[in-house]
Copies of this chain bind each other. A is one copy, B any other.
Amino acid sequence: MITENHCIQLDQNDALATLRQQFALPPDTIYLDGNSLGAQPRAALDHAQHIIHQEWGTDLIKSWNTAGWFNRPLSIGNELAPLIGAQADEVAVTDSTSVNLFKAAAAALHLQRNTPAHAQRRIIVTERSNFPTDIYILEGLSHFLNDGYELRLVDQPADLHSAIDQDVALVVLTHVNYRTGYMFDMVELTAHCQAQGALVVWDLCHSAGAVPVDLHAANADFAIGCTYKYLNAGPGAPAFIWVPKKHQPHFTQPLTGWWAHQSPFEMQTNFKGAPDIRAALCGTQPIISLSLVSSGLAVFKQTTMAQIRTKSLALTDLFIQLVEERCADHPLQLETPREHAHRGSHVSFAHPHGYAIVQALIEHGVIGDYREPHIMRFGFTPLYTSFHEVWQAVDILKDILDHQKYDLNLEKNAVT
């Protein structure tokens, strides 16, 4: 049996332990929801003050040039690039994940329509258990293209191979599933898609900053993802889109705002798309929220994704083991793969009263979250989650379960 002392010992041996000081975390709280909203880097406060007071308030319009606002979606994209195996000038931090998926998927379908052997393909594959916005965006895109596109929703990871056949134009997969934490083998699946002539968009919302990602090693086509989860960029901070050099010359997407123009300030009356990553931009970005993405990324420069991954697996292994040892009498069902190769950085357990239990945990200072149906989700963020917190969280969970300290009459909130 694992002891509390053992967990305390793990913290003492943790090379990343000191990074926690760089985050403002509330007292008496065990925050296991960095997979939904990352914690606040302390530096973000001064950074915001600088942007508001100096760049906006004092330098005003000049900051578009002097502070580099105009280039910021790309300069921050370059800061993010190493975390996902992207090269320089391949990543833009801009818009929302949903909007970026729309762009990437539209661009991929455009490429296929212009490839004679693939021009008639009309199937788009994704998982039924994908985060709904991905499915909705693909639905919206298909509907508006009004050209026979159909979604093929796959029920199980094991069914993906056979579902991706030579009728498929596009595959959109979330690398780490938002509910279960299941992680796909990006290299293997990308190769399969491409062998079938399909293009693939990887959604990295639960991967970027959570697990090592090497888009170039996988020879992936496109990727998108958010920055406000493991990258700690702030609530709703702009998302990213990756367009590798190989696809940039032919990248064209319908949201052809002026930021995607090759010469935006010449005020031409015809759109001429930039031949580079700028083609993935659209309109003016929210500079304050965008800038704070840098405060989140700054912490990653002090470690490596390999170190983060090692600690992440140790944290999730510990949590699974402790729950299974200490809460064995309760109907908890592990939804997350035990195999490291298929596990992201969060762990989900199903329980028939999952919603009420999560609310009770929150009241007792353990912040996890709930996802339909029955899923209790716990995110582990190696930059600030300690091993002792894992012990304490399971201790509180055990107490809530053992003594039924949860209210089955709770109404579900809009966001949980």
**Does A147 lie at the interface of the complex (its beta carbon under 8 Å from any beta carbon of B)?**
yes
**Does A65 lie at the interface of the complex (its beta carbon under 8 Å from any beta carbon of B)?**
yes
Q: List the 8 closest pairs (A to B, CB-CB), nearest first.
A: A96-B283, A140-B256, A98-B257, A286-B289, A98-B283, A144-B254, A40-B57, A235-B287
**Minimum C-beta distance from A287 to chain B (A):** 4
**Chain B residue at minimum C-beta to C-beta distance from A261:** B136
**Does A354 lie at the interface of the complex (its beta carbon under 8 Å from any beta carbon of B)?**
no
Question: Interface with B: A43-51, A168-176, A300-308, A395-403, which one?
Answer: A43-51
Contact A254 B143 (CB under 8 A): yes
Question: Interface with B: A263-271, A324-332, A385-393, which one?
Answer: A263-271
A24-B58, A144-B144 known, 16 other contacts, Cβ within 8 Å = A33-B61, A37-B60, A48-B49, A61-B369, A63-B235, A70-B414, A96-B282, A97-B284, A98-B255, A98-B282, A99-B99, A139-B271, A143-B254, A153-B269, A235-B286, A236-B290
Give chain B residues whose Cβ lies under 8 Å from the Cβ of A290. 236, 286, 289
Task: Say how many copies of this protein the assembly contains.
Answer: 2
Contact A271 B136 (CB under 8 A): yes
Contact A254 B136 (CB under 8 A): no
Give chain B residues whose Cβ lies under 8 Å from the Cβ of A59. 26
Residue in contact with A144 in the complex, picked from B24, B145, B259, CB distance below 8 Å: B145
A sample of 18 cross-chain residue pairs with beta-carbon separation below 8 angstroms, ordered by A number, consists of: A24-B53, A26-B59, A40-B53, A56-B234, A96-B285, A99-B257, A106-B144, A132-B264, A133-B283, A137-B255, A137-B257, A140-B256, A144-B254, A226-B284, A236-B286, A286-B288, A286-B290, A288-B289
A414 to B66, CA, bound (A): 11
Give chain B residues whose Cβ lies under 8 Å from the Cβ of A44. 52, 56
Give chain B residues whose Cβ lies under 8 Å from the Cβ of A149. none
Give chain B residues whose Cβ lies under 8 Å from the Cβ of A182. none
**Does A108 lie at the interface of the complex (its beta carbon under 8 Å from any beta carbon of B)?**
no
Give chain B residues whose Cβ lies under 8 Å from the Cβ of A99. 95, 99, 255, 257, 282-283
Give chain B residues whose Cβ lies under 8 Å from the Cβ of A128. 269
A118 to B284, CA, bound (A): 34
**Does A413 lie at the interface of the complex (its beta carbon under 8 Å from any beta carbon of B)?**
yes
Residue in contact with A258 in the complex, picked from B98, B254, B284, B412, CB distance below 8 Å: B98
Contact A40 B56 (CB under 8 A): yes
**Chain B residue at minimum C-beta to C-beta distance from A59:** B26
